[in-house]
Amino acid sequence: MSQEQRTLHGHPFFHDLEPRHLALVAGCAHEVSFSAGDYLAREGHPADHFFLLLSGGVRMETSAPPLGVLGILSAGAGEVLGFNWIYPPYKWSFDYRATVDTRAFQMDGRCLRGEFAQDHELGYQLMTRFSAVLGRNLDATHLQILELIHEHGTR
Amino acid sequence: MVITKKRREIEGIHTFWLEPRDGGEFHFDPGQFNMLYVFGAGEVPISISGDPGKPGRLVHTVRAVGKATQRLCALKTGESLGVRGPFGSAWPMAQLEGKNIVFVTSGLGLAPLRPAVYWLLNHRQRYGKATLIYGARNPRRLLYVDELRKWRGRFDLRVELAVGSADPTWDGNIGVVTSLVSKTFVEPGNTVALICSSERMMRAMVEQLNQAGLNDGDIYLSLERSIKCGLGLCGHCQLGPTFICKDGPVYRYDQVKGLLAQREL
């Protein structure tokens, strides 16, 4: 197992992935680093990849006039960022900005989609993982909406 | 009692410091509530949010929701209001000695939990590790900000905050408070959680605590219902076989688990 595969295996998102699949995803991965303030992705730009955070911190942001720039989610080591590479039109829905120096694996979405076409089991494994993350995010969003309703409904 | 101090916490939420006119003391256990009577407007149940170690001053944090609480929040320093109490069950702080304590709360839920935090800090050597996990809609909606800042500066209380959204000046967590439970190391086995929030949010908190390894019997929560008499007589706050004003508001989760998710009882 290469050093890259070992690091990928150490990330919670891939920790129980079979070695043969790990080798395939490692072929679509490269390590990147960002300084505090750097953007990992910009809203509306092509989304050809996602990130597995290894260290540091990233904030999902958007411009929401008249409130200005609003952070709506923060993420740190062990988390996965970016889903827009999975489905058309493959564009980032939000900005992602490093709040501190950050290291991550940048996973090439086009490369992975190509691997999925050859190996449906790999596609299933990754989509199962992404579904779990998306499901948790959706649950969290619903809870936040309910808190808003609770706060305003009792006024 | 007479209002000796009033502070606006955030929009629509005020904290009142009350003292008996005769200068006496008001003893209570963390988690209990009082019925506050505003002359001509009615009576409302409000959790006590002050320090149980300082019985000379009674502290309540009130959100202006209906007629009585709106009138209450309009009262000024020097004016009076009626106080009946304390009522209800308490966070079982004496029973929890030797345990690690994790407080999980959001929004105004910090008010009923704050006396338990004070109790723990007043008797710090009797407890293991202590963590406060607190969430709000945005940084401006965090209650007791000065106190949170002080608590964050302590070496014997870990404070983790999350807000739903924030401008770039906020350098803390952004997200729902339950996500902090999984991100914060909670040591199962000798850890007890005390939680207070809206009921649906508490069910989500319990789910996260369960995933962290806590059993239902290790979780205590404070419930809120329409409390009218405070004595278990009128039945307004009945939840199945239990009266929240008398048997609650603090319950061990396994005692009420089956009642919470039911639409009709």
Per-residue pLDDT for A153 more than 70? no
What are the tens digits of pLDDT across the range B102-122? Answer: 999 999 999 999 999 999 999
CA distances A22 to A82, B38, B89, Å, are 19, 67, 54
In chain B, ranges of CATH 2.40.30.10 domains: 2-86
Angle of helix A109-118 versus helix A120-153 axis, rounded to 10: 130
CA distances B4 to A105, B1, B17, B86, Å, are 58, 9, 6, 19
Does the predicted interface ipTM exceed a cut of 0.90?
no
Report which secondary-structure segment, H or E, holds B260.
Answer: helix B253-260
Q: For residues A58 and A99, give the distance between their C-alpha atoms in angstroms, rounded to a whole number.
A: 5
What are the tens digits of pLDDT across the range B237-252? Answer: 888 888 888 888 999 9
Phi, psi (rounded to 5 degrees) for A61: -135, 165
Please report, rounded to a whole number, the percentage of residues in chain A having pLDDT higher than 90.
Answer: 83
Name A46's bridge partners: A91
Per-residue DSSP letters for B96-148? TTTSEEEEEEEGGGHHHHHHHHHHHHHTGGGS--EEEEEEESSGGG-SSHHHH
In chain B, ranges of CATH 3.40.50.80 domains: 100-222
> Shortest Cα distance from B79 to chain A (angstroms)?
24
Q: For residues A139 and B183, give the distance between their C-alpha atoms in angstroms, rounded to a whole number.
A: 16
CB contact under 8 A, B183 and A150: no
Residue B136 CB contacts under 8 Å (≥ 6 apart), including other chains: B106, B107, B142, B143, B161, B162, B163, B164
pLDDT band at A155 (very low <50, low <70, confident <90, very high): very low
Q: For residues B66 and B167, give the distance between their C-alpha atoms in angstroms, rounded to a whole number.
A: 31
Give chain A's domain count: 1
Supply the pLDDT for residue A54: 96
- CATH number for the domain that contains residue A21: 2.60.120.10
Within the 43-72 window of chain A, which residues sit less than 8 Å (CB to CB) from chain B? 59-61, 67-72
Candidates A96, A144, A152: best to mutate against B (most CBs of B within 10 A) is: A144
Candidates A74, A81, A100, A133: best to mutate against B (most CBs of B within 10 A) is: A74
pLDDT band at A4 (very low <50, low <70, confident <90, very high): confident
Residues of B within 8 A of A139 (CB-CB) are: 204
Mean pLDDT of B197-221: 93
- CB A8, CB A22: distance < 8 Å: yes
| The CATH number of domain B2-86 is 3.40.50.720 | no
Question: Domain spanning B100-222 has what CATH number?
Answer: 3.40.50.80
* Three-state SS sequence of B13-44: EEEEEEECCCCCCCCCCCCCEEEEEECCCEEE
pLDDT band at B16 (very low <50, low <70, confident <90, very high): very high
What are the tens digits of pLDDT across the range A76-132? Answer: 999 999 999 998 999 999 999 999 999 999 999 999 999 999 999 999 999 999 999
Please state the separation of Cα B242 from the chain's center in Å.
20
Residues of A within 8 A of B107 (CB-CB) are: 147, 151
- Domain of A77? 3-153
Residues of B within 8 A of A60 (CB-CB) are: 174
Mean pLDDT of B165-180: 92
Residue B259 CB contacts under 8 Å (≥ 6 apart), including other chains: B239, B240, B242, B265
A72, A141, A146: residue with CB nearest B174: A72
Residues of A within 8 A of B185 (CB-CB) are: none
